[in-house]
Every structure is written in structure tokens, then in C-alpha cells.
Amino acid sequence: MTEILWERVATIFLIAAAAYLGWEALSFPAGGHLFPLFSCAGVIGVAGIMLARTWMPAFASRSGQPGGLSSASLKPLWIIAATVLYVLSMYGIGFYTASLAYFVIMSLSVGVRDYRKIALVAVVVFPLLYILFEVLLHTGMPRGIFIQ
């Protein structure tokens, strides 16, 4: 039962965070609010389905599930906390550094244990991200402390 409670708490937190971000997106100029609103609506929809699923009898009566806190029951909260930390750290340590750390943490969180593959993807993807945002789009992502 505790696992279901934690899943409910995580989905309610996710809905609240998406609603807040959607509210903030309404102030974006020149149609810049459309994609964030679409994304937030999608997150609210999926989280709502997840929340509704916890009250279904088949889900609530999981047999053989241990009670109490487990790493599986805390995974949604861990992912939300890591994502919030990623967004907050983006301006302090920079977009590219925060994204690299987030990529590694999320890869390990979802079960990828081949460190060579993680490193190979990072070596290929992050220079391409830099070229895309800085050279081609001239967006000027937050630089932070490592990339000046």
C-alpha cells in the first residue's frame, strides 16, 4: 500500500509542477508559449492516467508486492528531484554541463550499466548539441562555470 501512496504523491507533485510551468509559459512572448503548454498538458494527461490507475482494483491488489519504501517506489520521486535539480543548476553550472550530468544520472537511473555506451553517446551527442544551439541557431545557452 505504501508503494501506491508514493506513486500517488509523485503523480500529484508532477501534475502540480506541470500546471505551474504551464502557467508560467502563458507569459512567454510571440507564440513561445505553445510548445511548453502542449508539453505540460501532455505531462498532466499522462500523470492523470497514472494517478487514476492507482485506484483501479487490479493495480491496488498487487499480489506479492512488498510493503514499505523500496528503490522502485522511490524512482519516480528520484527522477523528479533530479529533473528539478537539473533545471535549477542549468544557470549555475551551464546548460551543457548540467545536461551531461543529467544524461549520466538518468541513464544510470533507468538501468543502463554499460559505461562505455554512456560515454560514447555523450561524446557524440553533446558536441552536436553545442553545434546545433551555438553555431547553427545562435541561441546562446547558459554557459556556466566550465564553458566560457
pLDDT in tens, 113-125: 999 999 999 999 9
pLDDT in tens, 13-62: 999 999 999 999 888 888 788 888 889 999 999 999 988 888 877 655 55
64-73 burial, b at 16+ Cβ within 10 Å, e below that, comes to: eeeeeeeeeb
Query: Which single residue is written with the C-alpha cell 541561441?
Result: 139
Contact between residue 112 and residue 118 where contact means Cβ atoms under 8 Å apart: yes
pLDDT in tens, 125-143: 999 998 998 899 888 788 8
DSSP 135: I
Full-prediction pTM beyond 0.75? no
Angle of helix 71-93 relative to helix 2-25, nearest 10 degrees, comes to 30
Determine the Cα–Cα distance for residues 129 and 112; give it in Å rounded to an integer.
21
